Amino acid sequence: MVFSPDVPVISRPALHSGLLDMTVTAGRWRCPPGEDCSPARFAWMYFLGVIWIFDSRILPVLCLILRHGLARCDTRTRCDVSCIGEKFREMPMPAGNQRKHNPYGPLHAMHAGLAETIGRWIDSEGDCATAIGSLQLFRRDAPSDACACMVESSVVFVVQGAKQLLVGEQAFAYNTERFLLNSLDVPARSQVLEASPQHPCLGLVFKLNMGVMAEIIAQNSLPPPRECVQESSTTLGSMTPVLLESFTRLLGLLDEPEAIAVLAPLIEREIHYRLLTSDLAARLWQITSVGSHSHRIARAVHWLRRHYAQPMSIEELAAHVQMSASTLHHHFRLLTAMSPLQYQKWLRLNEARRLMLNEGLDASTAAFQVGYESPSQFSREYRRLFGVPPRRDIEGMRDKAQPSRATIFPN
């Protein structure tokens, strides 16, 4: 097969060795200087190459079909298709240089595809759990004020619109170019920055499994990142086509429910690997490295979430994670923007709010159930956090017919 007068015939063994992909499609068919090469022309050349790979006997037949000014063939399966390009150049093309062009590159097209898929699964404002346990979708139709949420270890992608997460005094704004990484379960405030009914803010939340991260690092002997990073539970990463492609395939499994049990774990593992080779690798290494300060704080957070209703002292918690009380306090505040006792208090008050709203408990019963011994102390701390007394807060939320905003996923 000859793709131009000065290119020799390429043998089938060479093509079967895999050279076609890189040499024929990328190197043999180049757009001549000054020419206007359309995808249709390239598609024809690639089609002929595919035909040659699977059965060279078909190629002469194809060339005979195209013999009227398109190609010249003989019985030795040699086909000079250089004239095909000349024929294609005669096809009508847009005037001047008005070819369709995507100025945003592959990311824009991938975001558009993901937005279309998410829009099919969630057609009204809210959060949508999926058949894949680690994956949740969200939609917001208008900008919002910052509202409280508990953010789990996760990555949050926005494929249309923009959002912001406030952790302590730090603000992390993310959109289609930057994604959010949370390496710990932390209290925060989430805000929608760009959204409208015509162009809603659409995205997904993918829950991380730090055990899988550590396993991938150990089994594949991944080299540790050289750069040092500041300790923080939340950071931003750069969106890349290879990472988005993994999420596109994971989302595509929602249309194949019978394949989820088999394929979802494989794609989820790939996503963890992609994150470990992204620009956030150093942060993920830091949180998964056994014995590091970040790993010990993660253990402390896990213990507090399981035992928030129990009495707790800093010394006991420090001993549990094998740190001194002062070191625990310092690194805990760095990673969560609050002290361990403040973290426990936040967990108690939000759980009490959920019990009153969703299970109909009164303030005193809810206070005792989450670990408070004094209803008056509970009411004071509740008002300090939410701005109103417990009863008025719950009545206001019921009047608005809204679920509690203290959810485990960013709003």
Q: pLDDT digit string (tens) for 126-173?
A: 999 999 999 999 999 999 999 888 888 999 999 999 999 999 888 999
Burial bucket for residue 184 (CB in 10 Å: 0-12, 13-18, 19+): buried
Cα→Cα distances 53→18, 27, 47, 70, 82, Å = 10, 17, 10, 21, 19
- Note the pLDDT of residue 154: 93
| Structural domain contains residue 127 | yes
Beta carbons within 10 angstroms of residue 258's beta carbon = 8
Query: How would residue 39 be classed by pLDDT, with cut points 50, 70 and 90?
Result: low
- Residue range 86-113: average pLDDT? 56
Query: How would residue 267 be classed by pLDDT, with cut points 50, 70 and 90?
Result: very high
- Note the pLDDT of residue 36: 47
* 160 alpha-carbon distance from chain centroid: 13
| Structural domain contains residue 287 | no
Distance (Å, whole) CA 49 – CA 43: 10
Among candidate residues 58, 89, 120, the one where a domain is terminated: 89
**Count of domains forming the chain:** 3
Distance (Å, whole) CA 20 – CA 343: 59
* Alpha helix (H) residue ranges in 307-411: 314-320, 325-336, 340-359, 363-369, 375-386, 390-399
| Whole-number percent of the chain with pLDDT over 90 | 45
Helix (H), strand (E) at residue 206: strand 201-207
- Note the pLDDT of residue 260: 96
Is residue 62 located within the same domain as residue 31?
yes
Q: pLDDT digit string (tens) for 7-30?
A: 344 444 443 443 333 333 333 344
| Structural domain contains residue 333 | yes
| Whole-number percent of the chain with pLDDT over 70 | 70
Is residue 334 located within the same domain as residue 265?
no
Is residue 180 located within the same domain as residue 270?
yes
SS3 call for 368: helix
Is residue 244 located within the same domain as residue 112?
yes
Helix (H), strand (E) at residue 286: helix 281-288
Distance (Å, whole) CA 250 – CA 315: 44
Higher pLDDT, 34 or 230: 230
The tokens for 284 are 């993920």
Higher pLDDT, 217 or 67: 217
- Note the pLDDT of residue 43: 54
- Note the pLDDT of residue 96: 40
Among candidate residues 56, 89, 122, the one where a domain is terminated: 89
The whole domain housing 385 covers 293-399
**pLDDT above 60 (res 304):** yes
Is residue 380 located within the same domain as residue 255?
no
Among candidate residues 215, 247, 274, the one where a domain is terminated: 274
**pLDDT above 90 (res 81):** no
Average pLDDT, the chain: 77
- Note the pLDDT of residue 40: 53
Distance (Å, whole) CA 79 – CA 97: 32
* Alpha helix (H) residue ranges in 55-145: 58-65, 82-89, 106-121
Residue 157 main-chain phi, psi, to 5 deg: -110, 135
**pLDDT above 50 (res 84):** no
- Residue range 268-273: average pLDDT? 95
- Measuring CA to CA, which residue among 140, 192, 185, 143 is closest to residue 167? 185
Query: How would residue 398 be classed by pLDDT, with cut points 50, 70 and 90?
Result: confident
- Residue range 208-232: average pLDDT? 77
- Note the pLDDT of residue 79: 42
- Range list of β-strands (E), 32-185: 72-73, 79-80, 126-129, 135-140, 147-151, 154-160, 162-167, 170-174, 178-182
SS3 call for 101: coil
| Structural domain contains residue 94 | no
Higher pLDDT, 86 or 219: 219
- Note the pLDDT of residue 227: 65
Distance (Å, whole) CA 183 – CA 63: 58
Query: How would residue 101 be classed by pLDDT, with cut points 50, 70 and 90?
Result: very low
Comparing 41-55, 296-310, 344-358, the range with the smallest average pLDDT is 41-55
CATH of the domain at 333: 1.10.10.60
Three-class DSSP labels, 310-330:
CCCCHHHHHHHCCCCHHHHHH
User: Which residue bears the tokens 């086909």?
Assistant: 79
**pLDDT above 80 (res 411):** no
Query: How would residue 286 be classed by pLDDT, with cut points 50, 70 and 90?
Result: confident
* Cβ-contact 135, 206 below 8 angstroms: yes
| Structural domain contains residue 98 | no
**pLDDT above 60 (res 37):** no
Is residue 51 located within the same domain as residue 149?
no
| Structural domain contains residue 166 | yes
| Structural domain contains residue 322 | yes
DSSP summary character for residue 21: I
* Cβ-contact 152, 409 below 8 angstroms: yes
Is residue 164 located within the same domain as residue 114?
yes
CATH of the domain at 268: 2.60.120.10
| Structural domain contains residue 410 | no
Distance (Å, whole) CA 219 – CA 272: 13
**pLDDT above 90 (res 250):** yes
Is residue 112 located within the same domain as residue 230?
yes
- Note the pLDDT of residue 75: 39
- Residue range 72-91: average pLDDT? 40
Is residue 68 located within the same domain as residue 127?
no
Is residue 143 located within the same domain as residue 260?
yes
Is residue 187 located within the same domain as residue 267?
yes
Is residue 113 located within the same domain as residue 233?
yes
- Note the pLDDT of residue 77: 38
Cα→Cα distances 328→152, 331, 339, Å = 20, 5, 9
Beta carbons within 10 angstroms of residue 293's beta carbon = 20
